[in-house]
Amino acid sequence: MTYLLALDQGTSSTRSIVFDRQGRIVGVAQREFTQHYPQPGWVEHDAMEIWRTQRDTMREALHRAGVSARDIRAIGITNQRETTVVWDRRTGEPIHPAIVWQDRRAEPTCAELRKQGLEATILQRTGLRIDAYFSATKLKWILDQVPGARARAQAGELLFGTIDSWLIWQLTGGQRHLTDVSNAARTMLMDVHRNAWDADLLDRLDIPAAMMPQILPSSADFGRTAPDILDHAVPICGVAGDQQSALFGQACFRPGMAKNTYGTGCFMLMHTGDRFQVSENGLVTTSAAQTDARPAYALEGSVFVGGAVVQWLRDGLRAFTRSSDIEEMARSVPDSAGVMFVPAFTGLGAPWWDPQARGTITGLTRGTTMAHIARAALESIAYQSAALLQAMSRDAQAAGADGLQALRVDGGACVNDLLMQFQADLLGIPVLRPTMVETTALGAAFLAGLQAGVYADLQELESLWRIERQFDPAMPRDQAAERLDQWNHAIRQATAR
């Protein structure tokens, strides 16, 4: 038997999954880790805790699968993107907590970059809009705030990485400082036309080039694990940021194919092939997972708060004890009774890009119950995703391409049938849920398997993708349009100054 080990390092938990050659799970282990909120709008992780949970789940997943490291053909890594770590090259110790992608502390630097008129330049070079979401300004903040950090970085003593680089460094015993093109594309520091760090942007942000990792394709030789990690050196052959990895795991290899991942946030990507296209509708252009040196792109829209709104109801309002309970509560009422929930806890992402927006619940009456709020919370995930798909379709049509014909879905919340049906109703196109919803981890395994020779080509991978359920739109289009109008009104209220 041939096995692949996928390391899935997410925002709220770390997982390791052992897949067989057919893409079936044979062993999995997962551990949550601590979320730190030192100030409003700030979110931090302990990078060493992330590494420990990843190391421990690797060992546990192998044990549960009943295999040893010698049975693993290759390791693939997928990770929360944009989260920023700076560590000491000699000791491997971080010099500051990891600043998470959700963190907004670098917004003043972003405002200054906009004031300098750099929006068009950064958009054309990186495909990204200036926002504190991306890694560049987080990295600048660490170098500015930690005493002596910039001088140490210039001397080559400090290294920067997104979570993939951090894990590769730890896995290889500090031998490899690498990233892949899909993660590098999320830093706001990579020229996506050349797959190389942009010297001018590094200079403008006063970031020493010496601390940047080498960029490789997503399917490549990333080194081998140190023997003491798993009692055997295993090659690391695939790396991709979680959303590009999910696009790959969904077999969206051709232009016009799209997926939406329903996780802590929601992330919709549409493959555009080798065509770099600047969105006119509030999306960003990002590098897709690449199997060789040739650039490949995707349009992306990000919802900052997707499944996290369910966590907030569970932990903040104590509306239920388990996240899975929300579907039953939401189904207990026929609709949200006019309640609209805009979960802009950390501002709004695409297509609005409003960092000052704050969460609002509108349409409350004396008859409103927690069930109505729970249903509105679920529906908010679908509304935000519908706005992304509408923007994506407009961009596709402007480029002369067909509108989206179907949406492939994955992530933890896609198992919620009520949410998926409502999503299809709003979009007016089929929503396709695959038999394997762990497509983020599967994408990393597929990338590793290609490099390791487990799979011959993309066609073989495409043949492994299977539909578990198709949700067809059932709501009349005029009713869906009315619902979307109500949502847009709620958005205007949430963004009013």
- State the maximum Cα–Cα separation within the chain, in Å, rounded to a whole number: 64
Distance (Å, whole) CA 136 – CA 28: 33
DSSP 289: P
Q: pLDDT above 70 covers what percent of the chain?
A: 100
- Find, among 186, 130, 194, 190, the residue nearest to 162 by Cα: 186
Q: What span, in angstroms and rounded, lies between the C-alpha atoms of 137 and 11?
A: 19
Per-residue pLDDT band for 497 (boundaries 50, 70, 90) equals: low
> Quick one: CA torsion of 259, 421, 8, 237, rounded to 10 degrees?
-30
The pLDDT tens digits for 75-102 are 999 999 999 999 999 999 999 999 999 8
pLDDT digits (tens, 9 = 90+) for 167-203: 999 999 999 999 999 999 999 999 999 999 999 999 9
Degrees, nearest 5: CA angle 282-284-286: 170
Q: How far apart are CA 177 and CA 159, in angstroms?
A: 8
State pLDDT tens for residues 417-431.
999 999 999 999 999
| Nearest C-alpha neighbor of 218 from the set 188, 270, 257, 253 | 253
